Amino acid sequence: MRDIHVLTTGGTIDKVYGVSGLLEIGPPAFQALMAPVLTDLRFVVTPVLAVDSLDMTEPDREQLCRAVEAVDGDLVLITHGTDTMAATARHLAEHLSPAARSKVVVLTGAMQPAAMRVSDASYNLGTATAALQLLPPGVHIAMSGRVFRADEVVKDTTRGVFVEAPSPDLERILRWERQGGEWQVLTTGADAVTVALMRCDAGEEIDRLTSSAPDVLRHVAGAD
Ligand code: GLU
């Protein structure tokens, strides 16, 4: 049975109410969460950081990178705040040493502190632990009951749900919509669509986009 190396960084999963009544980062919640679980897995827990992930700096991410590289094993579970989990996952995917890229790294966390009676912490740890043993080498996120590669995930902050990051083409259309612009499908085929980007009065065409990105095809078909 291979060991699972757990690196903790803080985030909501480890938050507790201090005596002042303010939420603060407590000790890693991992051991307490795993206490009721009967398993032959061996967890080696190493606290690396204790920060809200909104306060995580590039040097912090470098420190985490070095900690992953220093792990004497292949399976690395990282607990992390959800707000910048996707940014850290991408940082690790891009900056890990070539030797460390043979490791399976899974980040997870929680929207509600593990210390609360109603929390997603245990569920997310379970998802992440199982995913870790099934995934190929690389950096992944296990959140919202799903598993994503580091380069394809964002947190939808309006819903608190982790979802696939929009393709660059869809991001362009969404940006256009956010600015009040309109768009109209000019031609559509099985594999590609051409969209005119127009002013908000649906008048003058300002730009044109041809895309075969699956999320663009779904978006213009009204499926998303
Ligand atoms: N801002 C906090 C963080 O990212 C809260 C988000 C969370 O962990 O759910 O650490």
| Helices 58-70, 85-95: inter-axial angle, 10-degree rounding | 60
Contact 85, 77 (CB under 8 A): no
Residue 111 Cα: closest atom of ligand 1: 9
Q: Is 1 in the pocket of ligand 1 (CB under 6 A)?
A: no
C-beta of 113 in contact with ligand 1 (< 6 A): no
Question: Mutation test of ligand 1: which of 56, 78, 83 has the most ligand atoms closer than 8 Å to its C-beta?
Answer: 83
Ligand 1 center to 91 CA (angstroms): 17
- CA dist 31 and 35 (Å) reads 6
The pLDDT averaged over each successive group of 10 residues in the chain (224 residues) is 93 94 94 95 97 97 98 98 98 97 98 96 98 98 98 95 94 91 90 92 85 92 73
8 Å CB contact between 181 and 206: yes
The Å distance, Cα 83 to ligand 1 centre, comes to 5
45 CB-side CA count, 13 A: 13
Residue with tokens 């980062």: 25
pLDDT at 203: 74
Residues 6+ apart with CB under 8 A from 5: 43, 44, 46, 71, 72, 73, 75, 76, 77
State if residue 38 touches ligand 1 by the CB under 6 angstroms criterion: no
Residue 53 CA to ligand 1 center (angstroms) comes to 6
pLDDT at 224: 64
Phi, psi torsion values for 194, nearest 5 degrees: -115, 125
Confidence (pLDDT) at 202: 63
pLDDT score recorded for residue 223: 57
CA 97 to chain centre: 21
| Predicted local confidence at residue 201, as pLDDT | 75
- Residue that is written with structure tokens 């929009």 in the block: 166
Q: Residue 129: CB within 6 Å of ligand 1?
A: no
